């Protein structure tokens, strides 16, 4: 996963495994062919990289988190992983496809990322990605704003583009959009404390600068506000919305 925050690879492997489990259908959309060279951007702990390798492709997985990469190397010692920032990374050889699951919403410099990914593709190469799209976690963000104030949006660590905005960016960098979808993916998460766990894992930056006691209290307030909307039949369900896109390098 591409982000500057220190990732907790153990949690990502366990309670948050839905992040990569949902990505299996994206690998089908990628349709990797034996012998193809594929770049997996934000490979996290390497499960989807391994899935693509299992289809016969040669894959390089990159991630900006040393923790995630450490776990990926432990999980799959025979695969190729590299520590890299997608906004600046360069490769001596081009790839047949660039793949990315559940990561690009963490890259605030979306144009830098698109520019690097486009440059990494050979003409005719495929770009297949899925990440948080416009309206993603709208309910969660509203609760964060209500508890912490409007100013927290200035430090928002995510970008959730619309189909129109992201397609324009891809086209600007020589990628022809073939298909794009924006769709709701209500995502159930395990456990009574799942909402607080999610905030701890993914929204920590919103609480920076507060004392540990204040963090606990503010998180509890956020969770209480979310309860009526996101806790149903004994299960917390995240209001995820995905942008999925398939494009070809001209
Ligand atoms: C997402 O996958 O949509 C997401 C994950 C963590 C934080 C924000 C969004």
- Beta carbon of 132 within 6 Å of any ligand 1 atom: yes
Residue 202 has a pLDDT of 94
pTM for the full model?
A: 0.93
Report yes or no: 17 and 98 within 8 Å, Cβ to Cβ.
Answer: no
Ligand 1 mean position to 201 CA, how many Å?
A: 10
Burial 102-112 (b: 16+ CB within 10 A, else e): bbbbbbeebee
Report yes or no: 160 and 105 within 8 Å, Cβ to Cβ.
Answer: yes
CA 233, chain centre distance (Å): 28
- Beta carbon of 158 within 6 Å of any ligand 1 atom: yes
**SS3 for 47?**
helix
Count of positions (residues) in the chain? 250
Start-to-end CA distance of the chain, whole Å, equals 27
Residue 144 has a pLDDT of 97
- Beta carbon of 103 within 6 Å of any ligand 1 atom: no
Residue 12 has a pLDDT of 65
Q: Give the closest residue to 167 by CA, choosing from 135, 133, 137.
A: 133
- Beta carbon of 16 within 6 Å of any ligand 1 atom: no
| Residues of the chain below pLDDT 70 | 1-8, 11-12, 14-16
């Amino acid at each position: 996963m591409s982000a500057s925050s220190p990732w907790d690879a153990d949690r990502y492997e366990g309670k948050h495994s839905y992040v990569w489990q949902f990505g299996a259908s994206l690998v089908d959309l990628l349709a990797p062919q034996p012998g193809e060279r594929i770049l997996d951007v934000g490979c996290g702990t390497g499960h989807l990289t391994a899935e693509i390798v299992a289809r016969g492709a040669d894959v390089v997985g990159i991630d900006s988190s040393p923790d995630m990469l450490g776990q990926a190397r432990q999980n799959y010692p025979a695969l190729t992983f590299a520590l890299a920032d997608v906004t600046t990374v360069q490769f001596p050889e081009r790839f047949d496809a660039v793949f990315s699951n559940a990561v690009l919403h963490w890259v605030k410099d979306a144009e830098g990322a698109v520019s690097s990914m486009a440059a990494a593709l050979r003409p005719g190469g495929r770009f297949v990605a899925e990440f948080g799209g416009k309206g993603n976690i709208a309910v969660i963000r509203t609760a964060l704003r209500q508890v912490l104030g409007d100013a927290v949006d200035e430090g928002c660590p995510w970008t959730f583009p619309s189909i129109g905005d992201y397609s324009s960016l891809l086209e600007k960098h020589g990628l022809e959009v073939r298909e794009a979808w924006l769709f709701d993916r209500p995502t159930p998460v395990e456990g009574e404390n799942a909402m607080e766990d999610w905030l701890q894992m993914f929204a920590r930056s919103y609480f920076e600068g507060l004392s540990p006691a204040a963090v606990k209290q503010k998180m509890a307030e956020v969770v209480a506000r979310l309860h009526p909307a996101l806790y149903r039949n004994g299960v917390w369900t995240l209001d995820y919305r995905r942008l999925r896109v398939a494009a070809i390098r001209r």
